[in-house]
Amino acid sequence: MVLLHLVAWQRPAAYVLPTTRFIPDQRTVVSRAATRPRDMLLLVLRVLMFLAAATAFARPVLTPSSGSVATIVLLDRSRVVGAAADAVARARTALGAGDKSVLVVFDTSASIIASTALDSIARAPLSNSVGSLSAGLALARRSASELAERVDSVRLVIVSPLVRAELDSASAQLRAKWPGAVGLQRVVAARDSSAKAQVRVVRRALSVEDSSAARSGTTVVHWDSTSTSATSAQGLSAGDEVVVAQFGRTAVSNGGRVVASWADGTTAASETQIGTGCIRNVGVAIPVAGDLALHAPYQRIVRRLTMPCGESTGNVALDSASVRRLVGTGTSAASASALRNSDAPPTPIVKWMLALALLLGVAELFVRAQMKPQVAA
């Protein structure tokens, strides 16, 4: 910047010359290299403007006070938790008294809960679904990015029995996005009662007894194949299974959890939880003739449609190798710099620096315009 100031196209010093009219009127600026800096005020303004702009484009952040550590606690509230009170107690211990800690509660989805609401959570029943650790990890990672602007490092603690069904294909990738080790507080897993649950397939209109049975824990599968429409080639998917065959459709309400879908996205089967059981509406008309029933994919779909509410997981505990991968290596608390998102919104200091650079630019223009030429003669 100083060199640019010294060597620049500029108006030279003014010189009173009565015979100016005899000078050809061609250029208004010349290139001249000054041996000593002139116009020190201009130089200072230009250097400051350059520094402010460079600082702004470097996206600076306000470094939080050293040593401040925040904790994110992932509390499992799905049905796989066997000791809910113990889990809440461990979560409370992990949260500590820090006002910068975050409690993330997850089952099939995750949400941030105020740590003061732990008592209320302890009194609430567990979810009837198997938890999704991926959902919890994703929200924890996003929360950590926000916390990183305020703290020096962030610790992640998972309070869960960690059964195999809670991990999916995204879990490993989401875990890899956490730059550090993960604290683990394993609680006792619940025994899987779904295997012993009764399933009642109803091929007529539902009755009061059906609803009562569902409230008491029975899975009522309402599969009324009598009101079928004309069959046509349809694609049916349930979970990972897909089968294409001649199917008929019956109307299925959109409420509840979708269990199976048609190829066009409409719901083929859904279930609604009632009490400790559920009612599953299946809108798939079974073909009257054909060998479809002999095909393995179709059989798997039928099994899925007639299984107890939720998925029977057996609550198999995660093997030790998977647990080690989940815990990971490195420091127990991830540094804030590693947690910050590159596409995170700029800190206010960036805007202030840009505004300062703009202000200095305007001041430089003003000073340059006001600067009277040094008249010599």
Pick one of 17, 34, 263, 293: the residue that binds other proteins (CB under 8 A).
Answer: 17
* Residue 353 CB, nearest approach to other proteins (Å): 36
Distance CA 92, CA 118 (A): 7
DSSP letter string, 116-137: GGHHHHHHSPPPSS---HHHHH
Q: Are 256 and 240 in contact (CB under 8 A)?
A: no
Q: Among residues 299, 263, 256, 302, which one has the least CA distance to residue 281?
A: 256
Q: Quick one: angle between helices 348-370 and 40-57, nearest 10?
A: 160
The smaller minimum CB distance to other proteins, of residues 39 and 152, is found at 39
Structure tokens at 171: 């879990």
Pick one of 294, 296, 369, 375: the residue that binds other proteins (CB under 8 A).
Answer: 375
**Considering only 26-34, 153-161, 221-229, 244-252, which stretch makes contact with other proteins by CB under 8 A?**
26-34
Q: Among residues 180, 167, 162, which one has the least CA distance to residue 71?
A: 180
Pick one of 1, 2, 4, 13: the residue that binds other proteins (CB under 8 A).
Answer: 13
Q: Counting contacts by CB under 8 A, is residue 29 touching other proteins?
A: yes
CA distances from 272 to 22, 35, 81, 209, 280 (A): 97, 85, 22, 16, 6
* Residue 3 CB, nearest approach to other proteins (Å): 19
* Residue 365 CB, nearest approach to other proteins (Å): 19
Distance CA 340, CA 374 (A): 52
Pick one of 1, 8, 11, 371: the residue that binds other proteins (CB under 8 A).
Answer: 11
Distance CA 148, CA 69 (A): 9
Q: Counting contacts by CB under 8 A, is residue 25 touching other proteins?
A: yes
Distance CA 344, CA 364 (A): 32
The smaller minimum CB distance to other proteins, of residues 204 and 372, is found at 372
* Residue 63 CB, nearest approach to other proteins (Å): 49
* Residue 374 CB, nearest approach to other proteins (Å): 9
Per-residue binding letters, 30-49, with other proteins (x by CB under 8 A): x-x-----------------
**Considering only 20-28, 189-197, 263-271, 310-318, which stretch makes contact with other proteins by CB under 8 A?**
20-28
The smaller minimum CB distance to other proteins, of residues 26 and 226, is found at 26
CA distances from 3 to 6, 30, 35 (A): 5, 16, 10
Q: Counting contacts by CB under 8 A, is residue 1 touching other proteins?
A: no
Sign of the torsion formed by the C-alpha atoms of 30, 34, 37 and 38: negative
Q: Counting contacts by CB under 8 A, is residue 123 touching other proteins?
A: no
* Residue 34 CB, nearest approach to other proteins (Å): 11
Neighbours of 207 (CB within 10 A): 11
Q: Site for other proteins (CB under 8 A): how many residues?
A: 25
**Considering only 7-15, 185-193, 207-215, 325-333, which stretch makes contact with other proteins by CB under 8 A?**
7-15
Chain contacts with other proteins (rule: CB under 8 A): 11-30, 32, 373, 375-377
